[in-house]
Amino acid sequence: MTAFSLDGRTALVTGANTGIGRAIAVALAGAGARVLCAGRRSCEATVAEIADAGGAAEDMRLDFSDPMAATGLFAEREIDILVNNAGIIRREESVDFSEADWDEVMDVNAKAVFFTCQAFARAVMARGGAGKIVNIASLLSFQGGIRVPSYTASKHAVAGLTKVLCNEWAGQGVNVNAIAPGYIATNNTEALRSDPERSKAILDRIPAGRWGAAEDIAQTAVYLSAPASDYVHGAVINVDGGWLAR
């Protein structure tokens, strides 16, 4: 097995039906993993793409509006890699932001991440194995943003959870790391990219001079899931074209 091979590993990728999650699932399968593609909507297109490339994948329905949705899964399946990608966002002026929008975002983006990590780690430790957790953070794990208070709070929480879980689990066979994507060309950013002024303002700030591709995030996820990153613990890796360095 090479340092970047995932042969013989099983990975769970949440939010794998589209965008970054789909790209991560495809990349992990390309590195040799069997991938459980989970989403609140069907991931059949992702599974088909993996199968067409000769990989192994399975469609699984998980809706993290119930933050405990995945907690029973790890006792039933031996899973080596967990990628917490599922997330939602609500936009509103902070003076008008509703409790419902706050709770919905925090449940999916923070509470579900913690309890899914907890269940995964318990299962890995119980079998005396090794596991890799990759959380998807955000530029808003470091910055404030505008009109997204619950999303910003939740992504700060993801970065903090990544560090506290590293401190507790690094010596017990579980690597916990995160990726903070920059501006990525997905469906979620289509409106920004279609606005010439907004798109130009964003590109002018990015030293790399381009929007990121979902595959840029996916290959970093492969690294954090593979033996190559065995001594990487508690890192939040910015994959942002240099945005935060500006």
Residues with catalytic annotation?
A: 151
Provide the 10 A C-beta neighbour count for residue 40: 18
Q: 13, 244, 63: which is closest to 138 by C-alpha?
A: 244
CA separation, residue 216 to residues 71, 143, 188 (Å)? 29, 21, 16
CA distance 225 to 126: 20
**Helix axis angle, 149-169 relative to 99-106, nearest 10°?**
30
CA distance 220 to 130: 19
